[in-house]
Copies of this chain bind each other. A is one copy, B any other.
Amino acid sequence: MTLKAIGIVRNEIKQRPEQGWEKIVSDIVIDSSLTEALDNLDEFSHIMVLLWMHQTAAGQLPMKVHPMGRQELPLVGRFATRSPHRPNPLGKTTVRLLERRGNILRVQGLDAVDGTPVIDIKPYIPGYDSADSARVPPWIRD
């Protein structure tokens, strides 16, 4: 199973902070051969961006981690976290689509550094993508 990048993230962020992404504005530059496939996307207020988190650690990963690297939180299974370090380094973020101009999508809230490869773009569809009444553990709420 081989992925190809369909685009790349462009922003001012060179190093991954843990938090504070909410206000970051990024441009997603999509391969110009795919421009027409972006038509109508801006009829949605929010999109989901699938990323290849290329800056992640290689090699064998511990099965358990402290969420967000915070030692005071319990050690939990890696799949119960959003750590970028996972068997397939895939990221998925829901962002506000500010503007589409040609092959460029301007978005707000994308938690990815400059140069991150983009592998898919999907419209965010409430009901299908959201779960009302979802329950999360206390260590996520903290």
Tell whether, in the assembled complex, residue A136 and residue B41 are in contact, meaning their CB atoms are under 8 Å apart. no
Q: Distance in Å from the Cβ of A83 to the closest Cβ of chain B?
A: 10
The answer to the question of A122 belonging to the interface, with a C-beta cut-off of 8 Å to chain B, is: yes
- Quick one: which of A73-127 are within 8 Å of B by CB? 74, 76-82, 86-88, 90, 92, 94, 96, 117, 119-126
A76 to B123, CA, bound (A): 12
A–B pairs, 19, beta carbons within 8 Å = A1-B119, A4-B87, A36-B77, A37-B78, A41-B77, A43-B80, A44-B136, A45-B133, A50-B50, A50-B92, A81-B123, A82-B128, A86-B120, A87-B120, A92-B122, A94-B128, A124-B134, A126-B136, A129-B129
- In the complex, the 4 A-B pairs of residues with the closest C-beta atoms, listed nearest first: A39-B77, A43-B137, A45-B135, A40-B76
Q: Which residues of A contact B (CB under 8 A)?
A: 1-6, 34, 36-41, 43-46, 48, 50, 52, 63-64, 74, 76-82, 86-88, 90, 92, 94, 96, 117, 119-126, 128-131, 133-137, 140
